[in-house]
A and B are shown apart, each in its own frame.
Chain A
């Protein structure tokens, strides 16, 4: 479906370009998707101190495309709702192959991947890709209501767009996994928050895994999930990695015991192409570090209560200012 166009060429400067894609599950609750997208985009614009937005439909970001009618409805809804917030908005036409030139700033805040979960704030009794689980077929068939547009009806995609070979279609792998050990060494939790915060600042999605004890401690420290938005129990995470349901470009393992090294070795095997950083700490980290004979970057520092030296080393290895 190609949207009729009058303007065949346009430009915008000092703006944020939103490469947007509407997915199948978004059809369940378009209003919520529009509202949530607006809030998230507004928060980002405030941080960047930018008030101009170019909405650019980009179908190649997913392999579960929503219907064109509903996609256009949601994109128009986002355009309208941003305008209501006094943002200058332009929207590239939907359904066209478009030539574009873009110039971005070489800055950590310049690029960001954002997923708007259609179930956010509601309790779902099934799994969805946003929780890194398979989509239930029955749920996929349960579409769709798209208020605000009479043309947005339940029907097959007439264009029958298929996924191609564009690299942009590959799953988002700019994600980091933090693997935490037993919480008995206090610096671990503090440094996990520090690492997660810095990774997110540079636009990397972070998933944190550990046993229930350590995850509970972190949840108490971060009740609104500002620093650790996404957590998963260690056993489940290992299972999903073994079944190739997840992938990460960076894996950081906190190890202060033999068990921690076992987990690091396991992660090395399950994520062979990822950058693996093993942080070895505790009262006596050197003998533990000597057990590692698999490829990884090691950060070794005696640290129990005082995280400062170890933090400095982590910052050095991960390229952050001290």
Chain B
């Protein structure tokens, strides 16, 4: 997910968050959240994690877990209205 690092992002949960903590955080802190499976394409990259992976949406901001092999999982937020629309169309509401 190298290119995501180049996107203007905000760190919602720092390094060290587990994938389950990321999911719980999204579910508890965002009114709008969606579920996807690993391999879902977001910002042109494939999402890694334990299914179902929770993606939060806050306006045009997408909140998602980002895993790097040598580091672990972060929870990041990236603003992208078009991608938010695409997530709403392609992700699911139910776990």
Which residues of A pack against B, CB within 8 Å? Answer: 181-182, 184, 210-211, 213-214, 234-235, 238-239, 241-242, 257-263, 265-266, 269-270, 291, 293-294
Known contacts A242-B39, A266-B39, A269-B37; A258/B51 CB under 8 A: no
Residues of A within 8 A of B37 (CB): 269
B39 touches A257 (CB 8 A): no
Residues of A within 8 A of B72 (CB): 257-259
* Alpha-carbon distance between A211 and B51 when the two chains are bound, in angstroms: 22
Indicate with 1 or 0, residue by residue over B68-83, a CB within 8 angstroms of chain A CB atoms.
1111110000000000
Give min CB distance, A241 to chain B, whole Å: 7
Asked whether any CB of chain A lies closer than 8 Å to the CB of B49, the reply is yes
Cross-chain contact of B69 among A211, A241, A269 (Cβ < 8 A): A211
A270 touches B50 (CB 8 A): no
Chain B interface bracket (under 10, 10 to 19, 20 to 34, 35 or more): 20 to 34
Residues of B within 8 A of A239 (CB): 45-46
* Alpha-carbon distance between A210 and B70 when the two chains are bound, in angstroms: 10
* Alpha-carbon distance between A262 and B74 when the two chains are bound, in angstroms: 12
Give min CB distance, A236 to chain B, whole Å: 10
Asked whether any CB of chain A lies closer than 8 Å to the CB of B35, the reply is no
A269 touches B73 (CB 8 A): no
Residues of A within 8 A of B67 (CB): 259, 262-263
Residues of A within 8 A of B19 (CB): 258, 261-262, 265
- Interchain residue pairs with CB less than 8 A apart (17): A182-B71, A211-B69, A211-B70, A235-B1, A238-B46, A259-B48, A259-B68, A259-B71, A262-B19, A262-B73, A263-B48, A263-B67, A263-B69, A265-B19, A266-B49, A270-B38, A293-B50
